[in-house]
Structure 1
């Protein structure tokens, strides 16, 4: 079971870490997404930091299991918020969101099964 947990956790950490970098370097894609959702561009660094914290927290879960669990749960909540932002502006282009959300759910499920069952 450890191999499954480690694979999902490392993949999720790399995914969210790369997304955090894209937000934090000021790339145009996150700005366009914020514009589409009618959210202030000033939120980009904050959202990037939340993604970075989630990414690092997942890795920290190898040493402190509760940290990984909280990070995975936080990422699930982050992407529920992203879904609400999409629905608020009636955006139905949810393919990217679904991939990010499914990865967060998988990371949380793998963490819970490995550490807490």
Structure 2
């Protein structure tokens, strides 16, 4: 992901999924195979944070946007985020776009990485 990948697909992916995965970056999102997500989160949360000061970007998202970040990081699509935030799907999509802008993230995968870095999610902890 740090090398600008927009996703990660494992070899044993179902045949219909690659078509979806190819379309995802075109829509501005990223894709991580579900079987890899837990390992990715574990790797990111286990990394030492060498003298890293507070990241001002975390201050930029509102409380509501941070809630949406957690939902993104736990695998929720915009249509699933909307009812959780009690907003329309279009508003949820706008919220996700604003988060990506504030975090300077190219896609949802980078939002997941940021949520892990900020310890908003961690492996083994059930999604709220």
Could you tell me the TM-score, scaled by structure 2's length?
A: 0.29
Could you tell me the TM-score, scaled by structure 1's length?
A: 0.30
